């Protein structure tokens, strides 16, 4: 009997050195990659095949906005196609940040070739804008909310009102963005923790803030609502809104995609929480590349005590059981279960 599954698409920053060659290794649909390559060539961009097949990972090349976006989209959509449809019934799709564009293609709102064009366009448009982005934990070692850290983040947002914004609510982490000056000041003011944070996200602009307004305006002119189709499966956005099959207002969906989520906070935690409450999936399938989504997913579930999860240890125990809740295609041992 099929298991129900929620599919989650990753955002920027998930194709790194360890993922070099991920697409060639895991994607058997060479025709799909050839289509993606054709889209990229027509736009004067490096092809997915070329980037993924390089012998050495290059931060300059692979982390360039439009290249990283293209690689992540190609890997994610190919992973979605590889899900064993006889084993899993995909009941809903969501994503984190850039993963929203991948989710649109997985749900059938835009064709995969159009999805590649969209992520490439948006990467170029938003990367050209000002600002920076960093990440800071608002949880403790048990993955439970840390009120003191959260208060410190809010203090910085108030101090730099109009220049610093909550960019992404990402499980137990606050992703904060704004002007370079405000980001620098906030990073200096927040107490260091875990020997990593606050962590500047290299090559990232002030995504999901009002500083992206010009990019949004250009995107709206390039991508009219006529280029969008009705979702084939329910689609949960970064506000927790469910776009239902066959009954969605495509003008509203276009404006959400190219205006609202570009210029306002993307609440990944809420998207995930609404998805599990509404559709009660037996499994949560995380598309590749990489496996970094798992922590944020678990932390979002702990926040609502989903299936009794209260701590990091609870989640680890579930994952070590014969029926793990979360299955990541970016982790080879779990990939075989999904495909």
The answer to whether the beta carbons of residues 235 and 293 sit under 8 Å apart is no
Clarify whether residues 54 and 101 are in a common domain: yes
Query: What is the mean pLDDT of the segment spanning 86-109?
Result: 98
State the total domains in the chain: 2
* Domain assignment of residue 154, given as a range: 132-204
Clarify whether residues 299 and 154 are in a common domain: no
Q: Final residue of a domain: which of 204, 236, 256?
A: 204
The answer to whether the beta carbons of residues 149 and 194 sit under 8 Å apart is no
Clarify whether residues 102 and 28 are in a common domain: yes
Clarify whether residues 122 and 163 are in a common domain: no
On the question of pLDDT at 128 being above 80, the answer is no
pLDDT at 127: 83
pLDDT at 203: 83
Residue 235 confidence class, pLDDT cut points 50, 70, 90: very high
The answer to whether the beta carbons of residues 73 and 116 sit under 8 Å apart is yes
Return the percentage of the chain with pLDDT > 90, whole number. 93
On the question of pLDDT at 142 being above 90, the answer is yes
C-alpha to C-alpha distance for 299 and 310, rounded to whole angstroms: 9
Query: What is the mean pLDDT of the segment spanning 116-124?
Result: 96
Return the percentage of the chain with pLDDT > 70, whole number. 100
Residue 129 confidence class, pLDDT cut points 50, 70, 90: confident
pLDDT at 90: 98
pLDDT at 202: 86
The answer to whether the beta carbons of residues 48 and 40 sit under 8 Å apart is yes
Give buried/exposed letters for 290-301 (b at 16+ CB in 10 A, else e): bbbbbbbbbbbb
Clarify whether residues 220 and 89 are in a common domain: yes
Clarify whether residues 21 and 86 are in a common domain: yes
C-alpha to C-alpha distance for 45 and 58, rounded to whole angstroms: 16
Using DSSP, state whether 278 is helix, strand or coil. helix
Across-strand partners of 90?
Answer: 5
Directed axis angle between helix 112-127 and helix 99-106, to 10°? 170
Clarify whether residues 163 and 102 are in a common domain: no
Q: Final residue of a domain: which of 204, 228, 249?
A: 204
Task: List Cβ neighbours of 174 (8 Å cut-off, separation of 6 or more).
Answer: 135, 136, 137, 138, 150, 153, 166, 168
The answer to whether the beta carbons of residues 88 and 1 sit under 8 Å apart is no
Task: CATH number of the domain at 168, please.
Answer: 3.30.70
Query: What is the mean pLDDT of the segment spanning 73-81?
Result: 97
Clarify whether residues 300 and 320 are in a common domain: yes
Q: Final residue of a domain: which of 204, 229, 258?
A: 204
Convert the pLDDT of each residue in 257-314 to its tens digit: 999 999 999 999 999 999 999 999 999 999 999 888 999 999 999 999 999 999 999 9
Task: CATH number of the domain at 58, please.
Answer: 3.40.366.10
Query: What is the mean pLDDT of the segment spanning 111-134?
Result: 93
Nearest Cα to Cα of residue 296 among 118, 143, 78: 143
Helices of type H across the chain = 22-26, 30-42, 48-52, 59-62, 65-82, 99-106, 112-127, 147-159, 180-189, 213-222, 250-255, 261-263, 268-279, 293-303, 312-319, 332-338
The answer to whether the beta carbons of residues 329 and 287 sit under 8 Å apart is yes
pLDDT at 135: 97
Q: pTM for the whole thing? A: 0.96
Task: List Cβ neighbours of 243 (8 Å cut-off, separation of 6 or more).
Answer: 107, 109, 231, 234, 235, 236, 237, 253
Clarify whether residues 200 and 225 are in a common domain: no
The answer to whether the beta carbons of residues 142 and 242 sit under 8 Å apart is no
Clarify whether residues 78 and 188 are in a common domain: no
Clarify whether residues 36 and 119 are in a common domain: yes
Residue with tokens 């992206």: 212
Query: What is the mean pLDDT of the segment spanning 73-95?
Result: 97
Clarify whether residues 88 and 111 are in a common domain: yes
On the question of pLDDT at 216 being above 90, the answer is yes
Residue 12 confidence class, pLDDT cut points 50, 70, 90: confident
pLDDT at 163: 97
């Amino acid at each position: 009997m099929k298991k129900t599954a929620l599919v989650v698409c990753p955002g920027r920053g998930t194709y790194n050195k360890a993922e070099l060659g991920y697409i060639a290794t895991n994607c058997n649909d060479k025709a799909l990659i050839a289509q993606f390559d054709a889209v990229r060539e027509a736009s004067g961009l490096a092809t997915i095949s070329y980037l993924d097949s390089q012998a050495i990972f290059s931060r300059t090349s692979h982390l360039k906005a439009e290249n990283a976006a293209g690689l992540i989209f190609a890997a994610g959509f190919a992973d979605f196609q590889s899900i064993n449809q006889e084993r899993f019934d995909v009941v809903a799709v969501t994503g984190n940040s850039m993963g929203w564009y991948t989710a649109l293609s997985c749900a059938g709102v835009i064709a995969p070739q159009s999805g590649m064009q969209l992520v490439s366009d948006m990467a170029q448009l938003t990367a050209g804008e000002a600002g920076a982005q960093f990440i800071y934990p608002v949880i403790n070692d048990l993955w439970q909310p840390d009120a003191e850290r959260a208060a410190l983040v809010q203090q910085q947002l108030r101090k730099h009102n109009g220049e610093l914004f909550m960019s992404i609510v990402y499980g137990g982490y606050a992703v904060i963005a704004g002007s370079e000056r405000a980001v620098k000041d906030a990073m200096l003011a927040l107490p260091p923790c875990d020997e990593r944070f606050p962590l500047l996200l290299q090559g990232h602009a002030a995504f999901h803030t009002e500083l992206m307004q010009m990019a949004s305006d250009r995107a709206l002119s390039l991508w009219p609502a006529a280029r969008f189709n009705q979702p084939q499966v329910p689609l949960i956005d970064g506000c927790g809104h469910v776009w239902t099959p066959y009954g969605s207002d495509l003008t509203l969906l276009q404006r959400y995609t190219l205006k609202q989520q570009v210029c306002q906070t993307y609440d990944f935690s809420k998207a995930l929480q609404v998805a599990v409450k509404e559709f009660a999936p037996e499994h949560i399938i995380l598309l590749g590349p990489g496996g970094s989504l798992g922590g944020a997913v678990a932390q979002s579930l702990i926040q609502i005590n989903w299936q009794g999860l209260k701590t990091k240890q609870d989640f680890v125990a579930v994952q070590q059981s014969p029926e793990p809740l979360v299955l990541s295609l970016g982790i080879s041992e779990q990939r075989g279960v999904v495909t």
